[in-house]
């Protein structure tokens, strides 16, 4: 399978997945760049998967549906806030789309009905605004505990899974991460690599889960260094996560 990153709006990404029997799109921030990417490759569009209801993830749905007649799939819990769905899904659902299997994972926190889409045959998960590279989405509708549970589900995927996130936030996330775990040598190396990639104009929102587990402070509330820095040696993982999220909100 081929996965194409499509920059949209100011810092969003959509993703095209060329599967054995067609093309799937994950999120549609705007139609124009997605149409350009499809036409450049001579591809159609069979399926459009929506992760959550925010406009910067659904703004292009109507135009793409009209142009390609694609099937639109999104979270049942947010159906009333979404463009009309052909199929509503929830965590635990398994689908066969364009000849490949797709698993739906509930990841509430950023929004209450946010889902991620896991393509096991491609070792890829599309997380939008739940887990993001070196960070996580703001907790707008849920609670820190809810977001921590969502990230824990994603962290349990095979470490070789590629994580495709919804925004180019990595540079700012790296700066913050260094304030939380400054002694993490893997984080230092990754921060340098991110700075180089962005200088060269390359996207940095896709990453290996194993790299996230080693460097993303939001996945590392059990790190002794983080706990010492925060003064929370005996707190639960959810409590440490909530403190990190609060500090990021004020960063």
Question: Which tens digit of pLDDT belongs to each residue from 53-94?
Answer: 999 999 999 999 999 999 999 999 999 999 999 999 999 999
Measured distance CA(24)–CA(14) in Å, rounded: 11
- Give the pLDDT confidence of 123-146 residue by residue, as tens digits: 999 999 999 999 999 999 999 999
Domain 2-249 class, CATH top level: alpha beta
- Whether 54 has a binding-site annotation, put simply, is yes
- Give the pLDDT confidence of 9-21 residue by residue, as tens digits: 999 999 999 999 9
CA dihedral 229, 235, 237, 238 (to 10 degrees): -110
Residue 33 confidence (pLDDT): 98
Outline where DSSP puts E strands in the chain. 2-8, 12-19, 22-26, 47-49, 71-75, 87-89, 94-97, 100-106, 115-119, 124-128, 131-132, 135-136, 162-165, 206-208
- Whether 234 has a binding-site annotation, put simply, is no
- Whether 114 has a binding-site annotation, put simply, is no
Break the chain into its structural domains and give their ranges. Answer: 2-249
**Percent of all residues in the chain with a pLDDT value above 90, rounded to a whole number:** 100
- Whether 56 has a binding-site annotation, put simply, is yes
- Whether 52 has a binding-site annotation, put simply, is yes
Neighbours of 1 (CB within 10 A): 15
8 A C-beta contact, residue 109 and residue 142: yes
């Amino acid at each position: 399978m081929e996965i194409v990153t499509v920059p949209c709006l100011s810092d969003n990404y959509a993703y095209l997945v060329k599967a054995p029997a067609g093309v799937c799109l994950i999120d549609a921030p705007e139609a124009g760049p997605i149409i350009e990417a499809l036409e450049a490759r001579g591809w159609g569009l069979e399926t459009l998967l929506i992760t959550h209801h925010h406009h910067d993830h659904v703004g292009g749905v109507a135009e793409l549906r009209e142009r390609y007649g694609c099937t639109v799939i999104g979270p049942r819990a947010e159906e009333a806030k979404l463009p009309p769905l052909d199929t509503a899904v929830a965590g635990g659902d398994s689908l066969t789309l364009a000849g490949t299997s797709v698993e739906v994972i509930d990841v509430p926190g950023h929004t209450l009905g946010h889902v991620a889409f896991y393509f096991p045959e491609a070792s890829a998960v599309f997380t939008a605004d739940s887990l993001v590279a070196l960070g996580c989405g703001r907790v707008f509708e849920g609670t820190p505990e809810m977001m921590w549970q969502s990230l824990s589900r994603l962290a349990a995927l095979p470490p070789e899974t590629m994580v495709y996130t919804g925004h180019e936030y990595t540079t700012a996330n790296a700066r913050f991460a260094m304030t939380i775990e400054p002694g993490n040598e893997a984080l230092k190396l990754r921060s340098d690599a991110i700075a180089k990639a962005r200088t060269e104009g390359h996207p940095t929102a896709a990453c290996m889960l194993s790299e996230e587990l080693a460097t993303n402070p939001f996945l590392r509330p059990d790190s002794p260094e983080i706990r010492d820095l925060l003064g929370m040696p005996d707190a639960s993982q959810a409590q440490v996560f909530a403190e990190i999220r609060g500090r990021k909100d004020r960063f």
